[in-house]
Amino acid sequence: MRVIVELRVHFALSLGVSLVFKTIQTEGIAELSYLLGDDDEGVAAVFDPRPDCDIYIEMAREAQVAITHIFETHIHADLVSGSRELQSRLDSANIYVSHEGGAKYEFEHEKLQDGDCFTFGETLVTARHTPGHTPEHISYILAEADHPETPWGVLTGDSLFVSSAGRPDLLGADQTEELAAQQFKTLRDFYLKLPDHVMIYPNHGAGSPCGADIGERLSSTIGYERKFNKFLQFPDAKSFTDYAKDTAPPVPHYYPVMKKLNAKGPEILGGLPRVQGLPPKAFKEAIQKKAGTLVDTRTMLAFGGGHIPGALNIGGSPVLSIWAGWMLASNEPILLVLENENDLEDVVRLFIRTGYSKFAGYLVGGMKAWDAAGLEQAEVRQMTVHELNKRKGELQIVDVRSPREWKNGHVPGARHIFLPELRKRIGELDRAKPTAVYCASGYRASIAASILKEEGFDNLWNVPGSWEAWKKAKLPVEGADGK
C-alpha cells in the first residue's frame, strides 16, 4: 500500500476579495504554517515554513501572489526551518527573525523587533514580542490596515495553542523558571487583553511535543481559550509554572540539535536529496561496510513477516519525522527499505523535516528482491491482545509508551520503559525470557521490537493494535497505583 503524506490546506478566513490566507498542516510533526497575502497587489508572506517548501510556491502561484517576506516566530526545536530553503527558490524575498531576548543567527536575515509593522494590501501585520516558550518568541497581530486598533487574528507561534500553551522548559532546567514566568506574563498581559473575537492561529496542532495536550482544532478564538484553556486559568506565576512543568511531555533529544541548526542556518538542499537505488548484493555490501543506518519503513506486519537482520523499523507514516529524530543520530546517512519504491520521495520528505538529508541508498525491488536473492532474513512474531492476556503471567511484557500514557493505565504486570530510553535500559530485561512489546497502536512497539531483535531477544512478539485494541477488548487494566 502506498503511503501518502497528507497535506490539508485550510482557507481559514476570507475578509474581502483581496485577502489570501491559508493554513498549511504538516502531519506527523503537527506543524502549522501560513501563507498571507493580497491578490490585488500580488504580494504575500509565509510564516514558519517547513523545509520541503514547494507547497508554498505552488499555493502562491495558484493565488496569483509573489512571496516577498518570510517570517519566523522563534528558533524552532521540533523541525528544520524552511526559511532559507524557501528563500533560495524565490527571486527576491527577505527572511525576518526576532532579535528580542538576545537571539543571534549565523545566516543573512532582516532584524525583527517588537512593534515592527508590515502591510500586505489591506492587511496590517504587527510583530509583538511574546517570550516564554523561548526568549526571542514573536507573535503577529493581524488587522485591517484601516482599523489597526481592532485586530481580527493573531499568529501565536508556539506561545498559545488551542487548549494549551508553549512549554517553557526546552532551554534546560536553569532557564525554565524564568521562561515560565515570562510565559505567564505573556498569556495574561498580552493574549488575555485581546478582544474575545480575535482568532488564534498557532504553530502546532494535536500531537506536537511542543505543548501539553494541544487541542484537535487548528484554530480558536481568544474568548474560547479565555474560558476553557487550563493554562489561562492560573492566578499566579508559581501555580502556572508548576502546572506547565508537570504536564509537559518528554523532551525529544533531537530538539537541542534543531535549535542549534536553525540558529546557524540549515543547509540549502535545492530540492529533495537524490537517493541511489542499490540491488540486493550492493545493498548488502553497503550494510556490511556500515555506509548508513539500516531503516525499514514498511508497516509493522510487513516488517514482522521478514526483514533484513539489524534493521530498525520506523514505519513510513507522517510520525516518522518525530521518531527518526528520537531514534537516529543527528543527520547520519540512512540505508532505506521501502514498502513501495513509489514511496521514496514521500519518505525522504519525512526524514528531511527533522534534519536527515543524507542517504546511502535504497533497496531496489524491496524485500521481494532481497528474498529472491536468497539473502538472510529475520522476523518478529505478532501476538493479539487476547493471547497476550491469556499468557501475561509467563511473558516479560514491555510497555514503551510515554510516562503519562503509562500512568493512565497499562497491561497488568507490564514493565514500563519509554521507547527512547530502551537502548540504555536494555540491561533491565531478560533476553532469555519470552517478551511481548506494546504501545498505543503497535507503531512504537514495532520500533522497540526491532531494537530488541537486534539485541538478541529471539523469543519476541509485537502486539498489533496494542493498548487501543486492549481497551476495546475490555481486558483488565492496571493503574499507576497498582490496582
**Residues 334 and 302 placed together within one structural domain of the fold:** yes
C-beta atoms surrounding 441 within 10 Å: 16
Radius of gyration of the chain (CA): 24
Residue 2 in domain? no
Structural contact between residues 103 and 80, judged by C-beta atoms closer than 8 angstroms: no
State how far the alpha carbon of 473 is from the alpha carbons of 49, 65, 411, 435, 470, in Å. Answer: 42, 53, 12, 21, 5
Write down the pLDDT at residue 5.
33
- At 106-161, the pLDDT tens digits run 999 999 999 999 999 999 999 999 999 999 999 999 999 999 999 999 999 999 99
pLDDT confidence of residue 2? 30
15, pLDDT greater than 90: no
Q: Are residues 203 and 285 in the same domain?
A: no
Please, is 372 exposed, middle or buried when counting C-beta atoms within 10 Å of its C-beta (0-12, 13-18, 19+)? Answer: exposed
The CATH number of residue 350's host domain is 3.40.250.10
Q: What is the pLDDT of residues 362-412, one digit of tens each?
A: 999 999 999 999 999 999 999 999 999 999 999 999 999 999 999 999 999
* More confident of the two residues 5 and 78: 78
One-letter amino acid at 373 equals A
The whole-number pLDDT of residue 360 equals 98
Q: Is the pLDDT of residue 6 over 90?
A: no
Same domain, 210 and 103: yes
pTM assigned to the model: 0.93
**β pairing state of 153-157 and 199-202:** parallel
Instruction: Say if residue 250 is in the same domain as residue 322.
Output: no
Mean pLDDT of 455-460: 96
Q: d(Cα 358, Cα 328) in Å, to the nearest integer?
A: 12
pLDDT higher than 70, residue 464: yes
Of the candidates 13, 48, 2, the residue with the CA atom closest to the CA atom of residue 29 = 48
48 CB burial (10 A radius; 0-12, 13-18, 19+): buried
Residue-wise pLDDT tens digits, 296-348: 999 999 999 999 999 999 999 999 999 999 999 987 899 999 999 999 999 99
Q: What are the Cα distances from residue 392, in Å, to 144, 234, 300, 431?
A: 63, 44, 22, 17
Q: Decide which of 16 and 157 is more confident.
A: 157
Are 395 and 357 within one domain? no
Same domain, 77 and 165: yes
Say yes or no: 325 and 414 in one domain: no
Which H/E stretch holds residue 246?
helix 237-247
The pLDDT assigned to 17 comes to: 56
User: Could you tell me which of 471, 459, 465 has the C-alpha nearest to residue 446?
Assistant: 465
420: left (phi > 0), else alpha (psi -120 to 50), else beta? Answer: alpha
Side by side, the strands of the sheet bearing 43-47 are 7-11, 19-26, 31-38, 43-47, 66-71, 94-98, 110-112
> Residue 314 domain-assigned?
yes
Percent of the residues in the chain that have a pLDDT greater than 70, as a whole number:
96
Q: Which residue has the higher pLDDT, 17 or 353?
A: 353
For 22, half-sphere exposure in the C-beta direction (CA atoms, 13 angstrom radius) is: 23
Domain count, the chain: 3
Among this protein's residues, is 117 annotated catalytic? Answer: no
Q: Is residue 477 part of a domain?
A: no
Q: What is the CATH number of the domain that holds 33?
A: 3.60.15.10
Q: Are 335 and 292 in contact (CB under 8 A)?
A: yes
Distance CA(249)–CA(204), nearest Å, equals 15
Q: For 419-434, write each residue's pLDDT tens digit.
A: 999 999 999 999 999 9
Report whether pLDDT(69) > 80: yes
Note whether residue 324 is domain-resident. yes
Are residues 53 and 79 both part of a single domain?
yes
pLDDT at position 44 over 80? yes
Beta strands in 239-309 (DSSP E): 277-278, 293-296
Examine the fold and report which residue of 350, 372, 394 is the final residue of a domain before the chain moves on. 372
438 part of a folded domain:
yes
Question: Residue-wise over 5-23: b if at least 16 C-beta within 10 A, else e?
Answer: beeeeeebbeeeeebbbbb
Contact 106, 100 (CB under 8 A): no
In terms of residue numbers, what domain contains 53?
Answer: 7-264
CA distance linking residue 32 with residue 225, whole number of Å: 18
Query: Average pLDDT for residues 244-271, to the nearest whole number?
Result: 95
Q: Give me the pLDDT at residue 481, please.
A: 63
Choose among 317, 314, 274, 278: nearest CA to 293.
Answer: 314
Helix (H) / strand (E) element for 462: namely strand 460-462
Position 270 in a domain: no
What pLDDT is attached to residue 93?
96
pLDDT of residue 479: 87
Tell me how far apart the alpha carbons of residues 84 and 203 are, in angstroms, rounded to a whole number: 18
Last residue of a domain, one of 229, 264, 299: 264
Residue type, 15: L
- Looking at 372, 390, 414, the residue that finishes a domain is 372
Position 1 pLDDT exceeds 80: no
Residue 478 belongs to some domain of the structure: no
Residue 417, pLDDT > 60, answer yes
Same domain, residue pair 296 and 425? no
289: its cell numbers: 561496510
How far is residue 310's CA from residue 296's CA, in Å, rounded to a whole number? 10
- Separation of first and last alpha carbons in the chain: 42
Quick one: pLDDT at residue 330? 87
- Asked if residue 302 is part of any domain, the answer here is yes
More confident residue, 92 or 342: 342
183-196 confidence digits (pLDDT tens): 999 999 999 999 99
pLDDT, residue 332, reads 87
CA-CA-CA-CA dihedral for 447, 295, 325, 348, to nearest 10: -130
Residues 342 and 404 in one domain: no
What pLDDT, on the 0 to 100 scale, is given for residue 480? 64
Nearest CA among 383, 385, 384, 435 for reference residue 410:
385
Half-sphere exposure of 191 (CA within 13 A, CB side): 39
Cα 97 to Cα 92: distance, rounded to the nearest angstrom:
17
Buried b vs exposed e over 239-272: b needs ≥16 C-beta within 10 Å? ebbebbbebbbebbebbebbbebbbebbeebeeb
* Average pLDDT across the chain, whole number: 94
Residues 321 and 446 in one domain: no
- One domain, residues 97 and 179: yes
